[in-house]
Amino acid sequence: MVASPGTLQSSFTSGEHDPHLGDRDELKYYNTGASYAANVEIIPQGGFRVRAGLRDIGELQSDAARLFSFTASDGSAYDIVLAPGEAEAWGATGKLQTFSTNVTADMLGEIDAAQQLDTMILFHRELEPERI
């Protein structure tokens, strides 16, 4: 008795194919590719996953000008978004908190930040170091 061949599954290990190869099913890599793969990462062992960082979790202020990454001591990651006079802390799911700063619009282009453990300090020559 002959065994049934099962269902055909693509592994996508050859990535995205050129549209001109759509009818070339005799090619070696035809069954291991995708005709269209947007915003995904191909996994070498087979399959794919959605590329990280593509979720829309909220809208920034129109005058937001600087972004600093912040990693807490427990490993959680945040983004600190600076705008004149205030800053926002963003997590993976959305805006967590808004707080005021002494940063002006003129300072935003040159401001620098340093982080140690759970403390971030903003530096600028015209600003007293500000702890976040």
What does the pLDDT look like over 97-113, one tens digit per residue? 999 999 999 999 899 99
Q: How confident is the model at residue 122 (pLDDT cuts 50, 70, 90)?
A: very high
- List Cβ neighbours of 89 (8 Å cut-off, separation of 6 or more): 70, 78, 79, 80, 95, 96, 97, 98, 99
The larger pLDDT score, comparing residue 89 to residue 43, is at 89
The larger pLDDT score, comparing residue 81 to residue 38, is at 81
> Residue 32 is encoded by which pair of tokens?
């291991």
